Structure 1
């Protein structure tokens, strides 16, 4: 067994470096505003949330495995050298495979953070995102078995008009 770290190990180690649990993203945004920076979107180029880390790690590892399978690249330094070309090819393939626009956008965000390049794969045209295309959590759920819609018509009309789910309308 060799001493060389594998590409997956290197990728996870890089994501570990990007993780800053306990640091406030809100405070970072406030200090940037006080410094006079104006921005539409803001990124500290770090990961503050464990759920974001989990999602980004899934996307990055899928990308890494894709580069190994398609291009035979086994070193993260080689992926870094070709990051723009590989990310563009990967995301273009995901669009061709008709992956959700939300998925492709999340994958691009994960790769941008991973490679620390805000304009990575800018040439990839991500399809427009539409609320009607979201299938998750729009159907009947287990909690609906005992729900009497006739008793809640005004509330249902309000929630549909706002696009909210029942649990989103509840008190915090």
Structure 2
């Protein structure tokens, strides 16, 4: 004879896994989700799914430890705020608490206007510690021994996931890009992949007219593709490294775990901003609508929106506010 409520026999870990897995919508259009009202029910990025999964499973462990009588995901919801408050009490940053809150909001579909929704503290730029200055872990990483890797990262601005799989074929020059654009443009019929490739190439050529060498960032965050310019004083060395890498072999066979790739990416962003600004209209001569006025602890700083948009495209972001808060903080 069958048992009743078989679903409830699943562990809390498995129930969380099943719920989040059912929300996967990798490759689907978030814009379409906004239009049809299903966006809140889906997770569109694999990296977001991984982050949310870690947060929700941590919540599950908390419930198992502190409320062992709870065996269902539905019953566990009662302890969401208690868990988030425990993170605050353990001195977790506002950024971490906000991420975990977002994960649980997604898991339980908690509405923005829910009176019981956990109030997350405001996040401030000065509270960010990741990739900001020297940390204890830096003492275990030799800058001298990895000087070439650091110079490379500061010149290309890639994320770690792209750096790990980068090959010589990812080096492009303007002449090659223009030839491919011309070839694809003449085709009467183009496949979806060819159309995407054409758009990426044209965006890079139009956005960065003063640059000759580019890195093809294949399947970056969110599965996106883009071409970003190589910049700085080490362009020749970077190009040489790429060209001398055997076909189908990774440019860097080993990337130290303690290498702060994000900080090198931020330096790339700042240097690219400075380079582009030197070739553009000075910020103080721009009309008001083209100026970005920083707020809170950066109040008084004014940036160029057109240049920020260029940097944003090079980094693979869609919002210039992300560039201002996460990359251009030291300008």
TM-score scaled to structure 2, two decimals?
0.38
What is the rounded CA distance, in whole Å, between the counterparts of 1:50 and 1:167 in structure 2? 25
* 1:71-150 superposed matches below 5 A: 71-76=67-72, 79-83=73-77, 85-119=78-112, 122=116, 124-139=118-133, 142=143, 143=150
Rg: which structure is higher?
A: 2
Residue-by-residue CA offset, 1:46-84 (whole Å, 9 max, x unaligned): 1000000000000000000000000114522xx41351x
Distance 1:121 1:51 in 2: 29
Higher share of residues assigned strand: 2
Whether the 8 Å contact between 1:14 and 1:114 is mirrored in structure 2 is yes
Task: Summarize the Cα distance change of 1:14–1:129 in structure 2 as closer, same or farther, 3 Å threshold.
Answer: same
CA RMSD of aligned residues (A): 3.0
| 1:65 and 2:61 correspond | yes
Gaps of 5+ in 1: 153-163
Aligned residues: 142
Question: Which of 1 and 2 has higher RCO (CA within 8 Å, sep 6+)?
Answer: 1
Large movers: runs of 4+ above 3 Å: 119-125
Query: Structure 2: which 5+ runs fail to align?
Result: 1-5, 144-149, 155-231, 234-264, 273-310, 315-331
Asked if 1 retains the 8 angstrom alpha-carbon contact of 2:33 and 2:39, the reply is no
- Do the aligned residues in 2 keep the contact of 1:108 with 1:121 (CA within 8 Å)? no
What's the secondary structure of 1:44's corresponding residue?
helix
Equivalent of 1:20 in 19, 25, 46: 25
Judge conservation of contact 1:18–1:46 (CA < 8 Å) in 2: yes
Whether the 8 Å contact between 2:64 and 2:70 is mirrored in structure 1 is yes
